Amino acid sequence: MNSIDIINKTKRRQPLSADEITWLVNEYTAGNVPDYQMSVWLMAVCLNGLTDQETVSLTAAMRDTGDILDLSGIGGITADKHSTGGVGDKTSLIIGPAAAACGLNVPKMSGRGLGHTGGTIDKLESISGYRTELPFEEFEAVVKQTGFSIISQSGNLCPADKKIYALRNATGTVDSIPLICASIMSKKLALNADCILLDVKYGSGAFMKTREEARKLADLMEKVGTAAGKKCRALVTDMNTPLGKNVGNALEVKEAVEILRNKTKGKLYDLCIELTANMLELAGKGTLQECAELAEDAIASGKALEVFRRTIELHGGDPRIADDVSLLPQAKYSYEIKAAADIRITAVNSEEIGMTSLLLGAGRTEKDGEIDMSAGIVMNCECGEHLAAGDTIMTLYSSAVSDFSSAALRALNAVSFTEIS
């Protein structure tokens, strides 16, 4: 086999065999295929696509370049959840404890945020003392005790994906559904949980801008997961507006705790119940309706909150934040954006809200950038709501920024509204 033949076949829309794909992935990971040849193949994939079977083969080849975790020591059924990312997405902090309170084991590896989308690891690190890097044995022990743990992606999992993703990012070959699928699913399959629930976002704050694109990606990821012998389900959900009211690391942990304390309902709560119910049904805990009732009871009874509290403690974090969110990082500065007239909110551009949060210090523009854990935005309204003149549309928070003029202008431009006469 050689790279030129493989490039030419994809360029001519001729399907590659599993052996050819495996050879290409292994040789590139080992450094025997140069970046310039891999870049050309990735561009050919972007332009011509891959068949479903080729995507299955690519995912398996990428998974097999590194370790595959053995979760059998945890005992019982294990379930993993992945979101394709968005603004204000703190669902893992709610779904994991709720599912664990219902008897499911939820071991999860997550990433950090980059750009306008937040990362679950960053949110957890806003909790004083919380360790996101644990050796596998300790990770396993936490899950055995509480049913739930989230750690950062580490170890020798999917080295091919790390190398290929960096190349895609540098060569304009990110926006390909087969390549996105293989990148996500290779890591999910390396974690090796019994069940995989996928939350595929679409809209202004998501990578997939339309429902149709998101559905294509969701269907392909389901096929790849099922082909690997996993129970796999993908839901398509809306990210045209921020998920929940809070955007920013400590602010999002606060909102998650408020939901786990059964103090807050709304779209975020409803989505978390839906996702938890689907995870429980995949694991054989009952019908979808029965599982939704289990999820609701896990929150209403306080059992999910107790799972979260105990997991924080075992990770070295301050468990008191489960009862007192004022112990989370607090911003030095804040700025309220108020309605200048009576208005009705018609739309909120999720990506622009995320970019504003980035300006305030809540995110990073480069891989190892510093984050202001207290920074972010609290939305005081939703689409369709009426506000009177002088009512607060949103509040900006930061400890790194004291001049809010540019951030406030960008945030206000992200909100569409009509004046009410």
Burial of 136 (0-12, 13-18, 19+ CB in 10 A): middle
Residues forming the active site? 82, 161, 168, 183, 187
Instruction: Point out which residues pair with 80 in neighbouring strands.
Output: 196
Domain boundaries, the chain: 3-49, 72-322, 330-419
For residue 332 the two structure tokens come to 């030095």
* Backbone torsion region of residue 232, taken as left when φ is above 0, otherwise alpha when ψ lies between -120 and 50, otherwise beta: beta
d(CA 341, CA 418): 10
pLDDT, one tens digit for every residue, the chain (421 residues): 899 999 999 999 999 999 999 999 999 999 999 999 999 999 999 999 999 999 999 999 999 999 999 999 999 999 999 988 778 889 999 999 999 999 999 999 887 765 556 688 999 999 999 999 999 999 999 999 999 999 987 778 899 998 998 899 889 888 899 999 999 999 999 999 999 999 999 988 777 889 999 999 999 999 999 999 999 999 999 888 888 999 999 999 999 999 999 998 999 999 999 999 999 999 999 999 999 999 999 999 999 999 999 999 999 999 999 999 999 999 999 999 999 999 999 999 988 999 999 999 998 766 667 889 999 999 998 888 999 999 999 999 999 989 999 999 999 999 999 998 7
Q: CATH: 3.40.1030.10, 2.40.420.20, 2.102.10.10, 3.90.550.10. Which one for 72-322? A: 3.40.1030.10
Q: What is the CA radius of gyration of the chain?
A: 22
Domain 3-49 matching CATH 1.10.10.60: the answer reads: no
Distance CA 216, CA 189 (A): 20
Q: pLDDT tens digits for 238-266?
A: 888 888 999 999 999 999 999 999 998 99
Q: Report pTM.
A: 0.91
**Cα–Cα dist 254/251, whole Å:** 5
The domain made up of 330-419 has a fold known as: Aldehyde Oxidoreductase; domain 3 (3.90.1170)
pLDDT in tens, 107-145: 998 877 655 566 889 999 999 999 999 999 999 999 999
Exposed e or buried b per residue across 164-182, where buried means at least 16 C-beta atoms within 10 angstroms of its C-beta: bbebbeebebeebbbbbbb
Query: Which has the closest alpha carbon to 157: 81, 62, 35, 80?
Result: 62
